[in-house]
Structure 1
Amino acid sequence: MTNSLYPHGSHRSPLPPAARPADGVPAPRTLHPTAPPTPAPASAPARTDAPKPKQRDAFFDNAKYLAIVFVAMGHCWEPLTDGSRTAEALYMTVYTFHMPAFILISGYFSRSFDMRPDRLRRLITGVAVPYVLFEIAYTLFKRTAGGDPSYPISLLDPWYLTWFLVALFVWRLTTPLWKIIRWPIPVAVAVAVLASVSPELGDDLDLQRVLQFLPFFVLGLFMKPEHFQLVRRREVRILSVPIVLGALALAYWAGPRMTSAWFYHRDSAQELGAPWWAGVVMTLALFGCSIVLTACFFAWVPRRKMWFTVLGAGTLYGYLLHGFLAKGSRFWNWFDADWVHTPAGQIAVTVVAAAVITVLCTPPVQRIFRFAMEPKMEWAFKKDATAVARARART
């Protein structure tokens, strides 16, 4: 095909229908004034080779940002729980829903995952590689700042926050399996229950957490947009207020009577000094409580674009980076000061934690650490023949 209008003199090939001129531009004259111009089809859109960028949903970005803020605040409340029953009640309540909400959203956005090569590459570069890098970085940090020079580097035993990357990797790989079985959510809950009564699982790859948090990921896989619309109704928002207040009151009562380790989902019932049947009861009870409080959380997440919406794309950055400060605050005894344990000090610590995690989710921080969180690593993969063929067809 040629760009010339008249490639062969007077013997012209038929031209495509003329497009409508832009406003203010005169239409070209036709060689035959008596012949009516051929109208351009109104329904034919202009073709373009560049794919349109996906529109991000402000609701989910808002939910991810607010959930990660609760994660940071929960970590700063943990050292305060021994001396403050209020801090312990807040801590237990937040731990009931903040990671379940985050995991449910992760499942929701994993619905399209399959074993396609490009998606496997993104799984490796966006989850597996950051796990390796941050596991090594955390270990070196513990050796130096934590005063434990003999702490080994072990990719089989995640330390602190890196368990989530291991879990996300395993969950996403099993996504096709959950799509073909008949009762995925009950099966996932059964797996979590069995894990809670199986102390022999050990610490390899933090399998207790991988399996006990699994139902929230599977639930997210089968969530639909209308389910989120359901929990965002006005009556749900109103009902969520007494539910959350009741949860806080229950946590205030239960604080001195139970260990908060149940909310971490990292140990079996026997490892927590409880009989095996307590694992069954607590797993089911906490799953139900987490779903209810997560629904209450979603009910109050703003739907429109907010000043913090853009930060939703950087929550994994904030999650992994704030771990150095969260652990460093213990290594450097920041919580030993008496003023921190006063009501004003506890409020100040909470505000600082929210501010720090907010900064760590910002685009400038993302650009600095993208080499570790989203490496391209094109050198490590074979070229996709299908993608290459598509690129040639477009040129």
Structure 2
Amino acid sequence: MAPRTFQPPQTDTLPTQESDGTSAPPVPHRTTAPGGTGAPGDRDPFFDNAKYLAVVLVAIGHTWGPLTGGSRATEALYLLVYALHMPAFIVISGYFSRNFDARPDRLRRLVTGVVVPYVLFETAYGLFRRWAEHDPSRPISILTPWYLTWFLAALFIWRLTSPIWRIVRHPVAVALVIAAVATASAGIGETLDLQRVLQFLPFFVVGLCAKPEWFHVLRGRRMRVPAALVLVAALAAAYRVAPPELAHWLYHGSSTDQLGVPWWAGVVATAGLFCLSLLLTACFLAWVPRHRTWFTALGAGTLYGYLLHGFVVKTALSLGWFDLPWIRTAPGRAMCTLVAAAVVTALCTPPVRRLFRCAVQPRAAWAFRRTGAVSPGTR
């Protein structure tokens, strides 16, 4: 039997950043850094730890994509990672968007922290793609995200709709219906990767609806053993019975027509994968450290690691490094995993953040009116 293979997605995952200045309500019994004040404004290490670990999984998943062929173990790990890392990021994004509204300062931060980085990095990736794919004449389009940048476009759309989800009844169910309709609908197009934006929408709405007490339950020690058993069972299932086509469902970027299945299969799969990914996300969060660790401070820089590591992965692909015979051995895959984790960790560090802050977190105060300025004609 020929080995099962995956084709890595052209657009993939992303981390969250409280770029609009909103903050989530404090989690009960939160821990603070040694010497911290314990005030509500203190960063909760749990969420910084979760964001860092999730972005490491993102980088590792991108590295495993070209290496899954011929290795059932790598294939199973790849499926498990793709089932939970993006939903985890999106749930946390939704949770930190609970207080988002149309207040001018929050709109400014949404523009400078999401829209501007999207435009800059989509342009940068477009230019980079010309080199990587040896196509100097390839057009650059801001409206068709490539590889990593789709998440910024999605985050902008999701946050703008946040006030709506706070007032509708049964918001998660409504979002799930929208995701199912999107999955079963062809012709949505590639503009802002709306197919993916709508299919991942329910996870964002779950985050918006999440209560601090839910995370408190997940952080309890008694949850760790059941969570580990579920993760092991999911990995075993991915190894033994999961079809290779499941990866394309987990990318959430294709319609049923593109996947070659009837529309009703998309509706069923949307609901089933949503429940599965939400369960695995909860299991992942149950194992996130609750206290400060050596990587807690890196959680504030996950957007940098997310946006920048794609250049490293695509450079390795363009240079053919993943095709080297020794890379496709078990030691080679292990080395690639460690290198991916090390690279994305380095990209989250303060020196890198200082260097790229002008692109990832620009201030751009000159572009906005002062809060409270009177518009012409309103006197």
The CA deviation at 1:277 is 1.3
Give matches, 1:301-340, under 5 Å: 301-340=288-327
Determine which of 148, 157, 162 is the counterpart of 1:170. 157
| TM-score when normalising by structure 2 | 0.87
The CA deviation at 1:225 is 1.2
Q: Aligned residue for 1:126?
A: 113
Residue identity in the other structure for 1:176? P
The CA deviation at 1:169 is 0.1
Give matches, 1:310-389, under 5 Å: 310-385=297-372
Give matches, 1:284-295, under 5 Å: 284-295=271-282
Q: Aligned residue for 1:40?
A: none
- Give the Cα separation in 1 of the matches to 2:282 and 2:273: 14
- Give the Cα separation in 2 of the matches to 1:277 and 1:236: 35
* Contact 2:132 2:314 survives alignment (8 Å): no
The CA deviation at 1:265 is 0.3
Q: Aligned residue for 2:101?
A: 114
- Give the Cα separation in 2 of the matches to 1:249 and 1:304: 30
The CA deviation at 1:97 is 0.4
* Contact 1:88 1:255 survives alignment (8 Å): no
Q: 1:253 to 1:270 in 2, by over 3 A?
A: farther
The CA deviation at 1:259 is 4.1
The answer for unaligned runs of 5 or more in structure 1 is 1-51, 388-395
The CA deviation at 1:80 is 1.0
* Contact 1:232 1:298 survives alignment (8 Å): yes
The CA deviation at 1:199 is 1.1
- Give the Cα separation in 2 of the matches to 1:154 and 1:275: 32
Secondary structure of the 1:54 match is: coil
Q: Deviations 1:354-391 (Å, cap 9, x if unpaired)?
A: 0000000011111100000111111111111279xxxx
The CA deviation at 1:53 is 8.9
Size of the aligned set, in residue pairs, is 336
Q: Aligned residue for 2:31?
A: none
Show structure 1 runs of 4+ deviating over 4 A: none
Determine which of 251, 256, 267 is the counterpart of 1:264. 251
Secondary structure of the 2:118 match is: helix
Q: Aligned residue for 1:146?
A: 133
- Give the Cα separation in 1 of the matches to 2:183 and 2:339: 35
Residue identity in the other structure for 2:200? F
* Contact 1:85 1:255 survives alignment (8 Å): no
| TM-score when normalising by structure 1 | 0.83
The CA deviation at 1:146 is 2.3
State the identity %.
60
Q: Aligned residue for 1:90?
A: 77
Secondary structure of the 1:160 match is: coil
The CA deviation at 1:329 is 1.3
The CA deviation at 1:130 is 0.3
Determine which of 55, 58, 74 is the counterpart of 1:68. 55
